[in-house]
Amino acid sequence: MPYITFLFPGQGSQKIGMGKDFFENSSLAKELFEAASDRLKIDFTKLLFEENDRINETAYTQPAIMLVSLTALKLFQSHSNITPQYALGHSLGEFGAVASVGALGSIDAIELVHYRGKFMSEAAKDANGGMMVVMGLSDEEVEQICAKARDEGKKVWPANYNSDGQIVVAGLKADLMSLEGVFKDAGAKRALLLNMSVASHCPLMEPARKPLQEYLEQFLQDSFAAPVISNVTAAPYKTKNEAIELLSRQLVEPVHYKQSIQNIENETDIFIEFGEGNVLKGLNRRITKKPTICISNMKSLEDALEVINK
């Protein structure tokens, strides 16, 4: 049996129609959708399958993505009893990783990230924050430009280390826009402001930390079937206390996705991404030669099971 690492995508992978194939072809998926809708008092079939604006609001985006990812996971687990070597996620996805190893119930995870989204939105009200993707510069070059800008009184920080030559920077929108030319003068192929109203993974999210910790204490269980790789440290953890600290620190510190994959690729034969978009599969192509399979509908589930059971 190959060594498998479970992956869970974060915000930005959402789209109308995601999860519909699961819902229409699986009673297990329908049960999960209904249970999540009942618990959160949100009609997830309307949120996910009908045109609406709420799908891009953080408090709704996060549980929507989590529901689809955990539906894919549950369907996979209904056909396979594999315990992963590791589990990890990108930002929001780390909560899916924790759920996948048994330390967080599925519906609890969906409710928890709904609160996380609310806390992040509330923190964002006090600052006109945003995020910018920078392509074509080294980590060190982006870090130096951000540090110099902070010395000048600007509020900008590296937020997502996605792959070599791709970093997302977070901070005040005006400060980010003022750096667009600076990044390009330094040789960036692209410096593009993303369509986001929340400056994730930087100190602007500090007001969200304490309320999130309280809910983590309430929802998390001290029962990890496998280690989870922390976005903050790019190292494994396996206890409730570590999870409370690291999942709350994740709000205000950068996501070390690239480093996380690099740290475990020698102990992994196959990565399986659960959820919409192939986002992490795309990043992994630039980080590792190990294959990544994405489960986003019934056909891709069948394909993944065939690969695993070879």
Residue 73, CA distances (Å) to 82, 86, 93, 304, 305 in order? 11, 14, 12, 12, 12
pTM value surpassing 0.75: yes
Let me know: does 96 contact 90? Beta carbons within 8 Å.
no
State the pLDDT at residue 2. Answer: 84
Q: Which of 90, 114, 201, 256 is catalytic?
A: 201
How far apart CA 12 and CA 44 sit, in angstroms, is: 18
Report the range of poorest mean pLDDT among 16-20, 169-173, 293-297.
Answer: 16-20
Residue 103 scores a pLDDT above 90: yes
Q: Looking at residues 138-156, what average pLDDT do you find?
A: 98
Which pLDDT tens digit goes with each residue over 42-94? Answer: 999 999 999 988 888 888 999 999 999 999 999 999 999 999 999 999 999 99
Looking at the domain that runs over 4-124+204-308, which CATH code has it been given?
3.40.366.10
Same CATH fold assignment for domains 4-124+204-308 and 128-197: no
Residue 183 scores a pLDDT above 90: yes
Domain boundaries, the chain: 4-124+204-308, 128-197
Residue 271 scores a pLDDT above 80: yes
Answer whether CATH 3.40.225.10 is correct for domain 128-197: no
Clarify whether 201 is annotated catalytic.
yes
Clarify whether 79 is annotated catalytic.
no
Q: Which of 13, 69, 91, 163 is catalytic?
A: 91
